[in-house]
Amino acid sequence: MKKLSVVVPVFNEIKTIEVVLDRVGAAPLPEGVELEIVVVDDASTDGTRAKLEELAESGRQPFKLVSHAENRGKGAALRSGFAAAAGDFVLVQDADLEYHPRDYPVLLQPLLEEDADVVFGSRFLGGPHRVLFFWHYQGNRFLTLLSNMFTDLNLSDMETGYKVFRKEVLDKLTLHSNRFAIEPEMTAKVAKLRLRIFEVPISYAGRTYAEGKKIGWKDGVAAVWAILRYNLFG
């Protein structure tokens, strides 16, 4: 029996967290795979933590709850979640409903078939997606191109929120980024290890800023710096 640890970083997602956990709990898993959910609350201020404690006490969907005393960013939340994960595979699941757990089987297949060490779920390989934000799309493409130039990979979506790792691979990565720069940092470091990386198509339901999207242009600038820093200086 293999175990999948789903790490859910959360900051101010009171409107979506219950639905996300229900979706993760109901996700179709390949035969022989069991589920562990690790939720990291990054010092939410909108009642998310109280909601998580309520859900944990209900026992409806068991999960580990890790809480930060102060807001530190997605990267810091992921590092805490990775440390708490006990599975053979570790999958990142954002709490904003943009990524759907129905894609777990396609994400896990290359790992279960021993073809991959890391799997990226690409929003740009033909899966169904909500149509939004031309310049956000172009920004993603630029960051992926820049990352590929340094890593010598041919990824189509470096910034994807759906990344799955073998736990032993994740344990080899020393990660530092606190915010969204964690994505190019992880990519640079798995590339340096010469790991077997697969991409698979996923669905994507991007949300608007009015609906709670948090990433902005400053995070794009930070991502450029992270690509340079972690590819050139380690």
* 90 domain residue, yes or no: yes
Tell me the pTM: 0.92
- What digits encode the pLDDT tens for the residues 175-207? 999 988 999 999 999 999 999 999 999 998 875
Q: Classify residue 28: in a domain, yes or no.
A: yes
The pLDDT value given to residue 59: 84
Give pLDDT < 50 ranges for the chain: none
Residue corresponding to tokens 């109280």: 50
Q: Domain of 50? A: 2-131+160-177+196-210
Residue 139 lies in a domain: no
The pLDDT, as a whole number, for residue 125 is: 85
pLDDT for 91: 98
In a domain, 173, yes or no: yes
Residue whose C-alpha is closest to residue 34's, from 75, 68, 66, 62: 62
Domain assignment of residue 83, yes or no: yes
Looking at the 3D structure of the chain, how many domains does it have?
A: 1
Residue 57 located in a structural domain: yes
Listed residue (72, 154, 136, 141) closest to 98, CA to CA = 136
What is the C-alpha separation between 137 and 123, in angstroms, rounded? 10
* Residue pair 122/201 in contact by the 8 Å Cβ criterion: yes
User: Is 223 within the bounds of a domain?
Assistant: no
Question: Is 204 within the bounds of a domain?
Answer: yes
Domain containing 127 — which CATH number? Answer: 3.90.550.10
